[in-house]
Structure 1
Amino acid sequence: MTDRASRERSPADALPTPGARAARQTAVMDPLLDRIGLRTPVARDAALAAVLAIAAAGLLWASLTVMGIIDGVRLPTGSAVALTLVVCLQPLPLCLRRRHPTGVLLAVAAAQLAVYAFFPATVAFQGLATFVAGYTCGLLLSTRALVRLLVVVSVATALMSGVVAGALFDPEPLPGSDAARVLVEADPAVHLVILTGLLSSLGAYAVPALLGVHVATRRDYIELVRLRADEAVRVQRERADNAVRAERTSMARELHDIAAHHLSGMVVQAGAAERLIGRDDQAAREATSWVRNQGKETLESLRMVVRALREPGPDGPGADGTFDGAPVPGVAALDRLVAAERRLGAAVELTHEGEPRALPPVADITVYRVAQEALTNARDHAPGAPVRIVLRHGSSRVLLEVVNDPPEAPREAAGRGAPRGHGLLGMRERAQLVDGRLEAGPAGPGGWRVRLEIPLAVETGRRTQGER
């Protein structure tokens, strides 16, 4: 995988922040450390301790050389070797700095007091391990624990430095050096030594600790940004999945409506053709031809819906909120729906009231589907009963009312099968989708009424289209 692909897959890596750059540098260093055998944190900290020990030893001998040139003194060989050993062992606790940062800092501070004993009170040599220990505590400890630790270590180091500073300092003056006498005979006040130790401790522990706190804060910020980016991606993906699921549920409802309406009409017409065979062959042939044509139309409609369910268009839903190829009749198709019902022998009357107006796409198909489902239910539960459909267009709402009279014969005599059970539920779901109100219940002795009211506020239309 290329670096470009890695950046595209990780939102946090694309952030133009110092923390993001540091994260990328760490990602680059990790494979390098793994190749040289430093795969665990302890191994890497041990390598860091070894490097600091070598660097501290070199800095120590450079300081001793400068002291010999400027002050004209040098340490005896035994003291120099002992001091070098202390300085090299001081970084050793850093191997456990990630697990026990407080203990490591205390151990490093104790070794630093031993270093003070080999130098005069006027010289404050700091080992490199003190800076790393302070940085680690700032990186890993809480603010309260860090402040308490820094106060204790700084005060204790300052007080102890007044006691141990110069305790093992036994210089050998270089021949002909007058500065050596001044350094050996210098005896600064204790409070000056304590003040020097305090300032030195603050510089060695507090400043690196503040840097560690800053780095920890940046890391937390980067992690928070990454989590938020991941959460945003997850939420967006869930929204897209929910939208697809809702659309496919709607399409499945369309499939149910098409199959229920057309197939029930085909059953009725096939039964009529069966009764006409032998009595009126020409009428029977016409009825059979109608069943064949209606079957082809229904099959084509079902193919379009199933194709939309399986393979939605590459551009997603169309402008009307539906997938390409999906049949979406509306109010304008009510006349054709009523004409088809009349051809089946039903007595259906359609009345338009008010000035027709364009409806939002979802409201348009909702009116049609509710009327279609109401007619199908009337055909199933009240065969032969007259049906009256009234569509009222108002300034702020559209009202659809479908009323059927009692059936001409009992439902058992009509030979109907078990109810589908999804008619009223589908109508109510469609009404809720457009903030409409659906009422369905008995109308008079044995009749049934379905009433749909849809508000036509601008906000409703916009929100409805967005939901589709």
Structure 2
Amino acid sequence: MGLRTPLARDTALAAGLALAAAGLLWAALTIMGAIDGVRLPTGSAVALTVVVCLQPLPLCLRRRHPTGVLLAVAAAQLAVYAFLPATVAFQGVATFVAGYTCGLLLSTRALVRLLVVVSVATGLMSGAVSGMLFDPQPLPGSDAARVLTEADPAVHLVILTGLLSAVGCYAVPALVGRYVATRRDYVELVRLRADEAVRAQRERAENAVRAERTSMARELHDIAAHHLSGMVVQAGAAERLIGRDDDAAREATSWVRTQGRETLDSLRMVVRALREPGPDGAGRDGTYDGAPVPGVPALDRLVAAERRLGADVALSHEGEPRALPPVADITVYRVAQEALTNARDHAPGAPVRIVLRHGSSRVVLEVANDPPPGGSGRADGGASRGHGLLGMRERAQLVDGRLDAGPDGPGGWRVRLEIPLTGETGRAAQGTREER
């Protein structure tokens, strides 16, 4: 309907309830005439209709002043009692909405105090005002003697009826409103906790990615420092050989060119990853063909170290071994290292198989473990143990590779890394082959 503000919606609600209350009133007066054979004078009927239509109007402010709205609606209800006999009960629809709103917006203590005051006051005053302005007119041809001559019910019965009516019209809707408010608070609390959990998980994941990127950056620094120091030495030798041994000088400068191209390719791949939001990543051990970080040649030492710890690890190579660019070489080693750590943590004692396949266009690493003896451990491959898989995927993306990790058979786990030897990775590998 285009009602964008709470005030506009409450105004529309009040207008609708006013029309509904007027319709219900005329239906009640028609029924009273049919059953009792009497009708209200025209003036009384018009006045009563005006009161009934005005009763819902305070609901326009129900969100801002719920207590005042309830008191105004209750006062209008007492005016309705004055136009009708004590034996006829007509309850305005606005009383239910006002009670519900108070239950929704007020505190429990304030709500209880308000309901007690309104219920008691309504019950006591209904005994005094009921039928005060009632002036029935008998319908032509009807026997209205019973209505006109019947003694009024006892005052205490009128008060009891008014009290029960107030409890039903104010207290019951207020309890419903209180329940809805509690439910909304609970849902909001659950939503906030879920948001906090998602935010905390995102922060942990970002921290893990930053740590992994810091690791890659440090490893790249070690590789670049190693290669650049060699380039400086070779450039100095070439400078001394110029004019004395040109062939040796050309060979030295060619080596410098190859090393420079390889280092630039490695820098380009890592810097592209570190330019993403939250760059930063750790570790250095072993050697890589003279470089101070480990690579594929260090896999044998890694497997030997695992065997010394009591693990059943088998390593096999398929295809013709080939030299990989430094970043891809480190990626293969780090993924194998992380997969072995996960297998040791989550499937202790299970046999582990490492297969490294060298192809013409790609290198594939597979690390698979059987279920742990006796069914101990977890078949999640370490996915819940921090962010090992996150780090492996980050390294795979750095070299345009693909990492798949998941269950392998009943209770086993498999990690598969595929690195294509195309694009920048292939050019870096070609440079490494030329150097060697």
- Secondary structure of the residue aligned to 1:215 is helix
Aligned to 2:155: 190
Aligned to 1:404: none
Describe how 1:54-453 pairs up with structure 2 within 5 A.
54-178=19-143, 180-182=145-147, 184-276=149-241, 284=249, 286-309=251-274, 331=286, 333=287, 336-337=289-290, 356-358=301-303, 395=309
Tell me, yes or no, if the aligned pair for 1:274 and 1:284 is still in contact at 8 Å. yes
Measure, in 2, the Cα distance between the counterparts of 1:277 and 1:82: 118
Distance 1:287 1:81, change over 3 A: closer
Distance 1:128 1:329, change over 3 A: closer
Post-superposition Cα deviations, 1:65-110, rounded to whole Å, max 9, x if no partner, equal 1111111222222222221221121112112111101001001101
- Matched AA of 2:214: T
Measure, in 1, the Cα distance between the counterparts of 2:256 and 2:132: 114
- 1:309 is displaced (CA, Å) by 4.2
- 1:178 is displaced (CA, Å) by 4.1
Distance 1:457 1:396, change over 3 A: farther
Measure, in 1, the Cα distance between the counterparts of 2:291 and 2:115: 88
Measure, in 2, the Cα distance between the counterparts of 1:40 and 1:301: 59
CA RMSD between the two structures = 3.9
- Matched AA of 2:217: A
Measure, in 2, the Cα distance between the counterparts of 1:66 and 1:271: 115
- Secondary structure of the residue aligned to 1:337 is coil
Post-superposition Cα deviations, 1:283-319, rounded to whole Å, max 9, x if no partner, equal 555544443443343334334434554689xxxxxxx
Tell me, yes or no, if the aligned pair for 2:222 and 2:291 is still in contact at 8 Å. no
- Matched AA of 1:89: L
Tell me, yes or no, if the aligned pair for 1:258 and 1:302 is still in contact at 8 Å. no
Tell me, yes or no, if the aligned pair for 1:53 and 1:88 is still in contact at 8 Å. yes
Measure, in 1, the Cα distance between the counterparts of 2:344 and 2:65: 65
Distance 1:207 1:256, change over 3 A: same
- 1:263 is displaced (CA, Å) by 0.6
Aligned to 1:46: 11
Measure, in 1, the Cα distance between the counterparts of 2:210 and 2:291: 32
- Matched AA of 1:146: L
Measure, in 2, the Cα distance between the counterparts of 1:45 and 1:170: 35
Unaligned 5+ segments in structure 1 are: 1-32, 313-320, 323-327, 340-351, 365-392, 398-433, 435-454
Distance 1:359 1:205, change over 3 A: farther
Measure, in 2, the Cα distance between the counterparts of 1:135 and 1:211: 6
Tell me, yes or no, if the aligned pair for 1:135 and 1:211 is still in contact at 8 Å. yes
Measure, in 1, the Cα distance between the counterparts of 2:196 and 2:142: 72
Aligned to 1:388: none
- 1:225 is displaced (CA, Å) by 4.1
- 1:205 is displaced (CA, Å) by 0.9
Distance 1:250 1:160, change over 3 A: same
Distance 1:245 1:184, change over 3 A: farther
Measure, in 2, the Cα distance between the counterparts of 1:108 and 1:62: 21
- 1:212 is displaced (CA, Å) by 1.9
Q: TM-score, normalised by structure 1?
A: 0.58
- Matched AA of 1:358: V
Unaligned 5+ segments in structure 2 are: 293-297, 312-336, 347-380, 392-436
Tell me, yes or no, if the aligned pair for 1:121 and 1:193 is still in contact at 8 Å. yes
Measure, in 2, the Cα distance between the counterparts of 1:230 and 1:118: 56
Q: Which protein has greater RCO, CA pairs closer than 8 Å, 6+ apart?
A: 2
- Secondary structure of the residue aligned to 1:122 is coil
Distance 1:250 1:182, change over 3 A: same
- 1:42 is displaced (CA, Å) by 2.4
Measure, in 2, the Cα distance between the counterparts of 1:307 and 1:56: 71
